[in-house]
Structure 1
Amino acid sequence: MQDVAAAAGGTNVVEYTVSELSGALKRTVEEAFAYVRVRGEISGYRGPHSSGHAYFALKDDRARLEAVVWRTAMAKLPFKPEEGLEVIATGRLTTYPGSSKYQIVIEHLEPAGAGALMALLDERRRRLEAEGLFAPERKRALPFMPRVIGVVTSPTGAVIRDIRHRIADRFPVHLLVWPVRVQGETCGAEVAAAILGFNDIEPGGEIPRPDLIIVARGGGSLEDLWGFNEEAVVRAAAESDIPLISAVGHETDWTLIDHASDRRAPTPTGAAEMAVPVKADLHAFISGLNARLAAASSRRLGDGRRALAGLTRALPSIDMLLALPRHRLDDAAGQLGRCLEVAIAGKRRSFGELSGALSPSHLDGLLKEKRADLRHVDTRDRHALDAFLSLRRQRFERAVSNLRPHALAARSQEGRCRVEALDGRLASAFRLVQTRRADRLATLARVAESLDYRRVLQRGYAIVRDAEDRPIASVDELAMGTPFEVELADGRRSAIATGTHRSAGRAPRSRRSAATGATQGSLFEA
């Protein structure tokens, strides 16, 4: 043991602390691998940390390398990392002394070829399609003649100039341009915000609300058009209340916004052609309709005139229509004189007959006849009045005979007998009712006496009352020091509650209460 210690103490190996050794390794790794490109698959990605940094790993089939993307670099990435995506990371290697690990600090990140991007794009397309964002029934028809068109594109590119020129040539309308970046890391967020911003404009406000939206960009590679494949852009296009035309790239370029939009245009110029009709064609079409309307109206009037002429030829003339009425009028006029003469002769005969009936001799006969009728009626009425008066005299005499003294006495005796009989019946009935009521009252008195609480008090029970003479039924109402009154069979006593609450056990008989039965203590006479 001494030889080993001597050998260890006599060596010339440099001695390091842990911190010195970790720092030396960190400097060596950073100097040897100052700037590297690493290809691998993203593993363990859970999104940015609350600080904005992202931590994950790059792996292949045999090794694993920890990676970190600082917040400043995260905002500049052309696309966001996703779990399982194969990428090429550019950055520098370093170590983390706190856990003896080495890691790559990523400054730039790109997919490992177009194949990886296409796989990511296909996976995202299938996922959004499963949610129904690309369903045909969600798509709406474009307005035939929009008054205001909103364009989401770069304000400095050739795309907006092409759209303006094409719309000006076809049908000039009001254009609203929402400037956005059409490439880069902020492209997707700006395009989605522009679509939602157009939808948030209130109708009838200071800024007119678009009737149609065009999202346009020129051609480019898959990486250049990647911003239009982001999920936020697709969802904004699907949720837009305003019809939307997607004009991103050339005819062979496809992005996810093309599936979610209401119509896809092969080029931005094609989108302008879809948005508005050709004004000259509309003028020509309307002129053709006017010409057809004028020709149809002329033909209709000519046909009406010919039909009217044919109908007038079939109608008879005025002389023919009036010939028969005129003949009838002439016949009536010829017969009118003869008819008047016959009528006058008839009236004269009738007048002669009436004048003969009004002669003085005839009138004297009528007067004699009427006088005889009056005498007969007078005689009949006198006989009837005499008979009526005789009948009334007989009835009056009978009534007077009934009012004589002996008749009144007989009737009074009869009434007195009836009253005595009724009086006897009334006395019997009164005695019977009185007996029945007395029996019922005695029964109720016995029941009331059996229910009287004072009979219970005579058996040794008591009633406890408070200061307002109300019965106390619970020990909770008798706190210490509370005055109360105890009613026994032979009187009442005032007392004050003392002692403690006993919930179990049996109290002495002299202090048991029928009302409370729980509070135990001393009773002091007030």
Structure 2
Amino acid sequence: MDLFEDSAPGNNAPEFTVSEISGAVKRVLEGEFGRVRVRGEIGRVSRPSSGHLYFDLKDDRSIIAAVTWKGQAAKLSTRPEEGIEVIATGRLTTFPGQSKYQLIVDEIEPAGAGALMMMLEKRRKALAAEGLFDDARKRPLPYLPRVIGVVTSPSGAVIRDILHRLRDRFPTRVLIWPVAVQGEACAPQVCAAIRGFNALTPDGPVPRPDLIIVARGGGSLEDLWGFNEEAVVRAAADSAIPLISAVGHETDTTLIDFASDRRAPTPTAAAEIAVPVRAELAARLTENAARMIRASQIRHQRQRQRLTDLGRALGRPQALTDPARQRFDLFSDRLEPALKTFMRGRRDRLAALPLSLSVLRANLRNRRERLADLTHRLPQGATRGHARQRERLTQMAQRLTRARMRTLTDAARQIARDRDRITGLTHRLLATASRMLPPRRDQLDRIDRLRQTLGYRETLRRGYAVVHGPEGLLTTAEKAAQIPRFDLEFLDGRLTVRPDTAPAKPARKSKSPKDQKSLF
């Protein structure tokens, strides 16, 4: 008997190693499915430190593991996010280490507008949670920018509309940063333009803009997708220069609109928001100057009137001079004899003095010289007085001019602050209304549905009826038997019922509805 005889005669199947089986499966799978496009919903997404991307593609019955290598992950136009439906392009292969097959993905594209909208909403909520859309981050726009930077395509109608509207309203200097406004190059070029304008120095050869306008014409969701990229939103939020977004038409909304300091419905409206109307400014300045002159005149008139009123409160000047005049009249009669006596005494003293004619002439000459000197000094004194008065008037005119300029500057600054405040309050009012109306509308709909649910019409729908008498509802058979006719209200209308002519007694209550006597 052979000790090495095969216990299972006829079993001649060849033996394979694990690696041979894995290699054969890999060759068959890659030969049958070289390059495929797979549509499905992205499930679990993993981003390890190696830089590779691991995620699942699934539908309602199956799941395929997918991987994108580090070098290709940076080139994907759409980043995989959990919950969105995509079309993944790549090749099928196996992973022998875990005995499974997987899809090596080279490109990912959203599966229709619904997936794009889902991705857009998810990205908007994530960026809003970081505070990039908060109103506290938004900066006020300059009232009169000296330089405006425009980020748009240089060959489209958008830049012509912006330049034309700026020329009509308030001509100013415009710097154009040409970018692609759709496609894969859109987002990197727009980010570079925004950061490039912010990197300019105010006193450099290329002046730094006081305001940035990011503009593009209307288009589909795919055409505007470059302005929904996270990099563009962060560049707009980090801009130190106030930024106006004018992407698409009035009904188009992109994520850059939430991060910008001001959203314009169209590029032309962005130009209108950026600068005021020069003619209106000139008219306003003229009006303010006229108001300032009127205010100055009114002030002077009030001061003059005040001085006149204070003068009336003083006493009459004649009341001060009347006593002196009376004393003068009293002493006038005594003045003439006193003067004569004084002159007589002086004449006697003069006659007693040894005066000569030469002394009188010398005295007269001295007096004449003094008078001539005073006469010569009088015009000089008058000239100096006039010069001092003129200098004083000049100083007062300069002070008045400076005060007028300060008043105009303060008024312009206050007008700008009030305008910014009114604009902010308007935005807050509109935002508050848009936030409050949907919850109130939903609450009203819930109350209306509750009213319909609790109303007696729903009870009629379940087979019941309502009995109406001449004086209202009838709830007992005794009352129904006492009236000649009454109405039964069903779900689809009313029916008039007449009871028997003989008075009927109310039926007794029984445990079963079949035992109750009919009144009809």
Q: Give matches, 1:65-76, under 5 Å.
A: 65-76=64-75
Q: How far apart are residue 108 of structure 1 and its match?
A: 1.9
Q: Residue deviations 1:177-231, cap 9 Å, x none?
A: 3344433445444434433443343433343222111122222222332332233
Instruction: Provide Cα deviations, 1:355-410, integer angstroms capped at 9, x if missing partner.
Output: xxxxxxxxxxxxxxxxxxxxxxxxxxxxxxxxxxxxxxxxxxxxxxxxxxxxxxxx
Aligned-pair CA distance for 1:48: 6.5
Which residue of the partner structure matches residue 140 of structure 1? 139
What does residue range 142-221 of structure 1 map to in structure 2 within 5 Å?
A: 142-185=141-184, 187-221=186-220
Q: Match for residue 260 of structure 2?
A: 261
The letter for the 1-side match of 2:121 is: D
In the other structure, the counterpart of 1:484 is none
How many Å separate the matches in 1 of 2:148 and 2:246?
Answer: 14
Q: Could you tell me whether the CA contact under 8 Å between 1:42 and 1:82 is conserved in 2?
A: yes
Question: How far apart are 1:113 and its partner, in Å?
Answer: 2.7
Report the Cα distance in structure 2 between the residues aligned to 1:54 and 1:303, rounded to whole angstroms. Answer: 82
2:43 is equivalent to residue 43 of structure 1: yes
1:199 partner SS: helix
Q: Which residue is equivalent to 2:117?
A: 118
In structure 1, C-alpha distance between the alignment counterparts of 2:269 and 2:281, rounded to whole Å:
19
Higher Cα radius of gyration: 1
**Change in CA separation of 1:161 and 1:105 when aligned onto 2, cut-off 3 Å:** farther
Q: 2:175 is paired with a residue of what secondary structure?
A: strand
Alignment-derived partner of residue 106 in structure 1:
105
Map residues 444-523 of structure 1 onto 2, 5 A cutoff.
none
- What is the CA distance between 1:143 and its match in structure 2? 1.7
1:182 counterpart SS class = coil
Task: Report the alpha carbon displacement of residue 274 of structure 1 after superposing the two structures with TM.
Answer: 0.9
Match of 2:239 in 1: 240
Q: CA RMSD in A?
A: 4.6
CA–CA distance in structure 1, aligned partners of residues 339 and 274 of structure 2: 94
- Is the Cα contact below 8 Å between 1:210 and 1:242 reproduced in 2? yes
In the TM superposition, residue 80 of structure 1 has moved relative to its aligned partner by: 1.4
**Alpha-carbon deviation of 1:328?**
9.2
Q: CA deviation at 1:146?
A: 0.6
Shift of 1:20: 4.8
The Cα shift of 1:334 comes to 6.8
Contact in 2 for aligned 1:91/1:108 (Cα 8 Å): yes
CA change 1:130–1:106 in 2 (3 A) is: closer
SS of the aligned residue for 1:169 comes to helix
Pairing of 1:28-107 with structure 2 (within 5 A): 28-47=28-47, 49-50=49-50, 52-107=51-106
**Contact between 1:67 and 1:105, CA under 8 Å: does it hold in 2?**
yes
Contact 1:76–1:185 (Cα < 8 Å) also in 2: no
Matched residues in 2 for 1:209 and 1:109: separation? 39
Q: Greater shift after overlay, 147-156 or 279-288?
A: 279-288
The Cα of 1:288 is off from its aligned counterpart by 6.2
Count of aligned residue pairs for this structure pair: 338
Contact 1:233 1:257 survives alignment (8 Å): yes
Q: Distance in 2 between matches of 1:224 and 1:4?
A: 73
1:7 lines up with 2:16 in the alignment? no
Q: Structure 1 residues 344 and 203 mapped into 2: Cα distance closer, same or farther (>3 Å)?
A: same
**CA distance in structure 2 between the aligned counterparts of 1:75 and 1:239, rounded to whole angstroms:** 23
Residue 294 of structure 1: how far off its partner (Å)? 8.5
1:274 aligns with 2:273: yes
| Aligned residues of 1:39 and 1:89 also touching (Cα < 8 A) | yes
Q: Does the 8 Å CA contact 1:42/1:59 hold for their aligned counterparts?
A: yes
Other-structure match for 1:416 = none
- For residue 40 of structure 2, give the secondary structure of its aligned residue in structure 1: strand
The letter for the 2-side match of 1:123 is K
**Aligned partner of residue 76 in structure 2, secondary structure:** coil
Change (3 A) 1:164 1:77: farther
Change (3 A) 1:202 1:329: farther
Paired position in structure 1 for 2:509: none
Deviation, 1:271, is: 0.7
- The structure-2 alpha-carbon separation of the partners of 1:337 and 1:271, relative to structure 1 and needing over 3 Å to count, comes to same
For 1:97 and 1:26, locate their aligned partners in 2 and report how far apart those are by CA, in whole Å. 8
TM-score by length of 1: 0.53
Conserved 8 A contact 1:154-1:179? yes
1:303 and 1:333 mapped to 2: Cα distance?
Answer: 46
| Cα pair distance change 1:131/1:100, threshold 3 Å | closer
1:272: how far off?
1.1
What are the ranges of 5 or more consecutive residues in structure 2 without an aligned counterpart? Answer: 305-320, 347-520
Displacement of 1:105 in angstroms is 1.9
- Structure 2 distance, partners of 1:166, 1:240, is 25
- Distance in 1 between residues matched to 2:67 and 2:298, nearest whole Å: 85
Bigger drift between 178-187 and 63-72 goes to 178-187
Measured after TM superposition, the shift of residue 335 of structure 1 is 4.7
Could you say what secondary structure the match of 1:82 adopts? coil
1:26 aligned to 2:26? yes
SS in 2 for 1:81: coil
2:476 is aligned to none
What is the letter of the counterpart of residue 10 of structure 2? A
Q: Distance in 1 between matches of 2:341 and 2:63?
A: 144
The alpha-carbon distance between structure 1 residues 135 and 32, as it changes in their structure 2 partners (threshold 3 A), is same
Equivalent pair of 1:215/1:246 in contact (CA under 8 Å): yes
Provide structure 1 residue ranges, at least 5 long, that are not aligned to the other structure. 306-321, 348-526
Shift of 1:261: 1.8
Distance change in 2, residues 1:300/1:43 (3 Å)? closer
Q: 1:250 to 1:137 in 2, by over 3 A?
A: same
Inter-CA distance 267–331: structure 2 relative to 1 (3 Å threshold): same
Percent identity reads 62
CA 298–3 in structure 1, closer or farther in 2 if over 3 Å, else same: closer
| CA pair 184-151 structure 1, distance change in 2 beyond 3 A | same
Letter aligned with residue 47 of structure 2: G
* 1:252 and 2:251 are equivalent in the alignment: yes
Deviation, 1:65, is 1.1
Instruction: Give the CA deviation at 1:109.
Output: 0.8
CA contact (8 A) 1:95 1:103 kept: yes
Q: CA deviation at 1:275?
A: 0.6
Displacement after TM superposition at 1:290 (Å): 6.5
CA drift of 1:247 comes to 0.7
**Kindly tell me: are residues 77 and 154 of structure 1, through their superposed partners in 2, closer, same or farther at Cα, counting changes over 3 Å?**
farther
Aligned AA (1:53)? H
